[in-house]
Chains A and B, each alone.
Chain A
Amino acid sequence: MSSIDDALSGREVVWGTDNLFKSYTVARGDVEAAFAGAPIVVEGEYETGSQEQLYIEPNGMLAIADLQNGVTVWGSMQCPYYVHRALAGLFNLPAEKIRVVQMETGGGFGGKEEYPSIIAGHAALLAWKSGRPVKIVYSRAEDMVATTKRHPSRTKHRTAVTRDGRLLAMDVDFVIDGGAYCTLSPVVLSRGTIHAAGPYRCDHVRIRGRAVATNVPPHGAFRGFGAPQSIFALERHMDRVAAAVGLGPDEFRRRNFVHAGDTLAVGQVIREPVSMNTLLDRALALAGYHDKRRRFVEENGTRAIKKGIGFSTFMHGAGFTGSGEDHLASVVAVEATREGVVRVLAASTEIGQGTNTIFSQIAAEALGIDPDDVEVVQPDTSEVPNSGPTVVHHALVDAGVLPSVHSRAEFRAACRRYVDSYGTLRATSRYQPPPGVRWDDQTYQGDAYGTYAWAAYVAEVSVDTTTYEIRVDDFVAVQEVGKVINPTLAMGQIEGGVAQGVGWALYEDVVWREGRMANAQMTNYIMPTSMDLPEIRVHFEEVPYPYGPAGAKGIGELPMDGPAPAIFNAVEHATGISATRLPLTPERLMELMCASPAV
């Protein structure tokens, strides 16, 4: 069983009674009644493929383990306390006998949330058995074959609209392939399901989300957590609905955007100001959208290289889904030394995204000291409290709780005095949800996230009809992410996410043969190089979020959501080909173009 269809057919059952790891239903209004009277109904089916993580450093772990000292592992990971829990269970040892230390980690994207527990287990068991330290570092090929990738997905949309382009009802069936074991599939499914109806106002919505079991290696957490999959389907579909109604893609969306005070599919009332129109206006103006939309059609004619422009509009929930944040009850501690150095203790890890810089910056700002006087302690479960895993931009959401103090000299003197008289100066803080946030896991209704980031992305492409290769020529990413704490890091996150999105949309194709990845080399798994990427023009609208650290919402996952549908919409503009399956490799585009009489 290697596909969603195999799993749903039920011909063979490999998990439970129905091959389902998890399912959710979001229901709002009366969908059937709304369809019954609808003048226009548009249906569509969309698929996305798997995606390899390709963090720079493959998984690796070093272990020492014996009866006397317990188990210690050092390695590349995102979530030391996940590994800690896994080892405690595996060895049946008390928590204090297990020590997990995160070493400098060469990237993660979610791929080092689950898998490090496995390789840590292998290394620790071998160390236990042999009585020697054991180090396991995967080669790239081993890492590609064994570790978790992005969940493939299939989404069916049925949408009812009025003749003037107002959404009446949305019926969405969203399925992801979890592979052979459950992993974080329920969490990925949850975010994907909640994002499936997008930033649109619609009174009658039904979203059914399912994560199925197959025999391929387990898929897992990956930047975006299911939202890129369901948003790809939605934003492709929205362009087709717009066409069915006879409206431009932008005008159709404008008629349906949510505004402050509106209610999302999960029943969440948007309380903060939001202006999707402003974001869209700005993105389209920066991209020269309207002019190009007209001009490309006139110029393409019989040219071998056809140009197109398209966009996507979307939102991304900040922090953990629903009650996830409350369950984690993350703790962060700060400690002042006698010398006046402030140590931040958090298990939210630096994996290259700049967490340590941001932590230092926030702590320094709150305390009125120099960032150089802040030390972010290496995550070590024997020292730092469980502040939850580094997933999402959670690291930020946590760290924003620090006392406010005075000048640097006074601060140092105060630290010395305090430590001399009372000993350790240490404060811990537990995550507190914003006031009034309510979520019901049973009905899947409520405030799915404390807040959302909002965005409009525009892609300009060339399609070479000689080779069927698609190139992204220009990319504009406009987003509102609360307050931008560190512009350099924030731009880097957006650029990296867009690059990864371009790869997912056009290049990166995991070839499965009998449930194994057959192209586990970077020569044959085609990730775009810098030469394949356009300039990525990043712009922020800043609306500080009162409950985020220093006004921030979160940023890391958002840029993965928008590129693929924007690119596909642009390809349709260039060629008339309405592609629904990702990645759109040259081979696939050729099949579509050869089957289409128009081109």
Chain B
Amino acid sequence: MRTPLHRYELTACDSLQDALAALAADPSARPFAGGTDLMVLMDAGHLPPGRYIDLWKVRELRDIDVTAEAVTLGALTTYTEVLKAEILRREFPMLGIAAAETGGIATQNRGTIGGNIANASPAADTPPALVAYDAELELVSSRGVRRVAYEKFHTGYKKMDLAPGELIARVRLPRGRKGWRDYYRKVGTRKAQAISKVCFAAAADVADGRVRDLRVALGSVAPTVVRCTATETTVRGHAVDDAVVVKAQRALASEIEPIDDIRSTAAYRLRVAQNVLREFLTRIRA
């Protein structure tokens, strides 16, 4: 570890009220959930010193609620809990696939959905699935509660619609997508412990050979997760054929901005994103 520990202070809270009060009292304080992103930074000497508010024991941020309209995940829901939840497996299977492909078991036991969202990595693996499911976030602070559509939450590289002192409390997934077909694919070169080069999540409602509605979302191909609305438009209302596939692939290229970096190349990300889109469209065509 490259970091002198005395420069950090971790305040453990066991209620939401305490946590929000602690955050309000010190505007520079930052939440600490499972720590699977923060501890990596700390080990590398990149974690800003200061106060951290440990949320792990905050009960109100746990648990998965189910109503007729929605399934709501507490921000502290871990990958392991996602994998165990029968309702998610049935109605939101892409979250389970994403969870199973995130890190290893240790990371899955500690890593949380809220942390994955707030860490705001463009390569994170749950955001494309959350976008494809029309997720909505519930944000809380000492000033109150507000709701934002998840697809609008990330506003730029590592930028998001989250005020200081504000926490992600819950992630709401609207139900009622009966008969939709989901398709999720993480492309990360190795089968485990991989960081996505392209992460693709899509869902479609197909009836009588036509795509009535669909969502297409990608990670690792832009500064934030992207919902690909232009791509969706080329497909919505149509029967999938070769011409639609080509148009959709072209539209996709217009709305993602992949880059060359240490993990891959822009050319690879673009081409694979298009190939995976074709694979998705081919599946829903059959």
Chain A: minimal CB distance from B210 (Å): 25
B residues 261-286 touching A (CB-CB < 8 Å): 262-265, 267-268, 271-272, 275-276, 278-279
* Residue B191 lies at the interface, judged by CB distance under 8 Å to chain A: yes
B residues 146-203 touching A (CB-CB < 8 Å): 187, 189-195, 197-198
Cβ-defined contact, B192 with A531, below 8 A: yes
Chain A: minimal CB distance from B148 (Å): 30
Contacts known (A466-B272, A466-B276, A467-B272); A507 close to B189, Cβ less than 8 A:
yes
Residues from chain A with a CB closer than 8 A to the CB of B265 are: 587
Residues from chain A with a CB closer than 8 A to the CB of B187 are: 467, 469, 586
Closest B residue to A524 by beta carbon equals: B262
Contacts known (A523-B195, A524-B263, A587-B265); A467 close to B276, Cβ less than 8 A:
yes
Contacts known (A519-B262, A524-B195, A587-B265); A594 close to B271, Cβ less than 8 A:
yes
- Contacting B279 at CB < 8 Å: which of A304, A524, A586? A304
Residues from chain A with a CB closer than 8 A to the CB of B191 are: 529, 531-532
Chain A: minimal CB distance from B196 (Å): 11
Residues from chain B with a CB closer than 8 A to the CB of A519 are: 262-263
Contacts known (A511-B262, A518-B262, A587-B265); A532 close to B190, Cβ less than 8 A:
yes
Cβ-defined contact, B279 with A590, below 8 A: no
**Bound CA span A522–B192, Å:** 12
Residues from chain B with a CB closer than 8 A to the CB of A524 are: 195, 262-263
* Residue A526 lies at the interface, judged by CB distance under 8 Å to chain B: yes
Majority SS at the chain A contact face: loop
Contacts known (A467-B275, A468-B272); A526 close to B262, Cβ less than 8 A:
no
Residues from chain A with a CB closer than 8 A to the CB of B2 are: 139
Chain B: minimal CB distance from A518 (Å): 6
Chain A: minimal CB distance from B275 (Å): 4
Residues from chain A with a CB closer than 8 A to the CB of B198 are: 467
Cβ-defined contact, A590 with B276, below 8 A: no
**Bound CA span A468–B265, Å:** 13
Residues from chain B with a CB closer than 8 A to the CB of A385 are: none
* Residue A585 lies at the interface, judged by CB distance under 8 Å to chain B: yes
Chain B: minimal CB distance from A202 (Å): 39
Residues from chain A with a CB closer than 8 A to the CB of B272 are: 466-468, 586, 590
Residues from chain B with a CB closer than 8 A to the CB of A526 are: 189-190, 194
Q: What 7 pairs across the A-B complex have the smallest Cβ distances?
A: A531-B191, A466-B275, A587-B268, A529-B192, A531-B192, A467-B187, A532-B190
Residues of B within 8 A of A (CB): 2, 44, 187, 189-195, 197-198, 262-265, 267-268, 271-272, 275-276, 278-279
| A–B Cβ pairs within 8 angstroms, 22 of them | A465-B275, A466-B272, A466-B276, A466-B278, A469-B189, A507-B190, A519-B263, A523-B195, A524-B195, A524-B262, A526-B194, A528-B190, A529-B192, A531-B192, A532-B191, A585-B189, A586-B197, A590-B267, A590-B268, A590-B271, A590-B272, A594-B271
What 8 additional pairs, Cβ within 8 angstroms, besides A507-B190, A524-B262, A590-B272? A141-B44, A466-B276, A469-B189, A524-B263, A529-B192, A529-B193, A531-B190, A532-B192
